[in-house]
Structure 1
Amino acid sequence: MSTLLWIIAAVLLVAGYVGLVIPALPGIVLIFAGFVAAAWAEEFAYVGLVPLTLLGLLALAAYFFDAAAGVVGAQRFGAGRSGLTGAAIGTFVGMFFGIPGIIAGPFLGAVTGELLARRGFRDAGFAGLGAWLGLAAGAAVKIAIAFAMAGVFLFARFL
């Protein structure tokens, strides 16, 4: 049974780290599940409730930060309510179009929202740029948290 759990853990962890850059996979969730499977493979002898709770909190933080980053970026660059709504809708719709959609969705959504609110092209462009920069910052933080999760697991397991 433990061999099967180790195989499951490895597959989940590899898929999770790949999912950090491929939007079709829920990377952080898969990474957390992989660490839980690895702890379970050793019957939670080394990695118990406290490290797993910390890993879960880190996974939640990464998930919510990543989801909100594009909207916050647009707001920082002066987007109004319409631009923020557009960035959120663009982020959601973009997920269905793979990497190009993930990259362009928040930008196009913020720009469209600002233009529909009758703001100028310059303001709309800044809102779109802010949404895109927020998305990039969210991805960077998500990757950093994923590697911090690996550090927490390894620390709990080996020290």
Structure 2
Amino acid sequence: MSIALLWSLVVLLMLVGLAGTVLPVLPGTALIFAGAWLGAWIDGYERVGVYTVVVLGVMAVLAWALDYLAGLMGARRVGASPQALVGAAIGTVAGLLAGFVGVLFMPFVGAAAGEYLARRDEQRAMQVGLATGLGLLLGMVAKVAIAFAMVGLFVVAWLV
């Protein structure tokens, strides 16, 4: 396989990875990491060393964890019931199957439904649902920031 084709694959992986930070079907930061690792390997880890690849791997894991925990942390912050946390988790999984809009709204719906089933208080259920939604939104913003930081770190390591 030619070097130009391999570098094209690096760029493609990183671009698809950036898109994957907001699209639910694609593992965004994992694809960025794969592209960075391939780029480091192509050059024999001369410009982008093993230490940088490890840092990028840690960043990818951190972004993945934020993606799954952000909504739950938002719900927990307002004192959500265990049923609300389970509802948020179920809503997150259901949202992944429903596309981008589902990812944004299903955890909110799941948390609100779980809280309502636990306490039969509509106002409290809405508070928990909104806190879950805000947590997810903040988690997505953090994930996008980490993804751009990963690409930036790779580019800087390559250029310096």
Within the alignment, does 1:153 sit opposite 2:154 as a pair? Answer: yes
Structure 1 segment 6-17 matched on structure 2, within 5 A: 6-17=7-18
Scaled by the length of structure 1, the TM-score of the pair is 0.95
Q: Percent identity?
A: 43
Task: Tell me the secondary structure at the aligned position of residue 117 of structure 1.
Answer: helix
The corresponding residue for 1:95 is 96
1:94: Cα distance to partner? 0.8
Aligned letter for 2:19? V
Within the alignment, does 1:104 sit opposite 2:105 as a pair? Answer: yes
Aligned letter for 1:78? G
Scaled by the length of structure 2, the TM-score of the pair is 0.95
Asked whether the 8 Å contact 1:13–1:31 carries over to 2, the reply is: yes
The whole-number CA distance in structure 2 between the counterparts of 1:3 and 1:44 is 17
1:88: Cα distance to partner? 1.0
Structure 1 segment 119-158 matched on structure 2, within 5 A: 119-158=120-159
The whole-number CA distance in structure 1 between the counterparts of 2:125 and 2:69 is 19
The whole-number CA distance in structure 1 between the counterparts of 2:144 and 2:78 is 24
Asked whether the 8 Å contact 1:24–1:95 carries over to 2, the reply is: yes
The whole-number CA distance in structure 1 between the counterparts of 2:152 and 2:100 is 28
Asked whether the 8 Å contact 2:14–2:151 carries over to 1, the reply is: no
Q: What are the Cα deviations for residues 56-113 of structure 1, in whole angstroms up to 9, with x where unaligned?
A: 0000011001110001001112311111111111111110000121011110100110
Structure 1 segments of 4+ aligned residues over 2 angstroms from their partners: none
The corresponding residue for 2:42 is 41
Q: CA RMSD in A?
A: 1.1
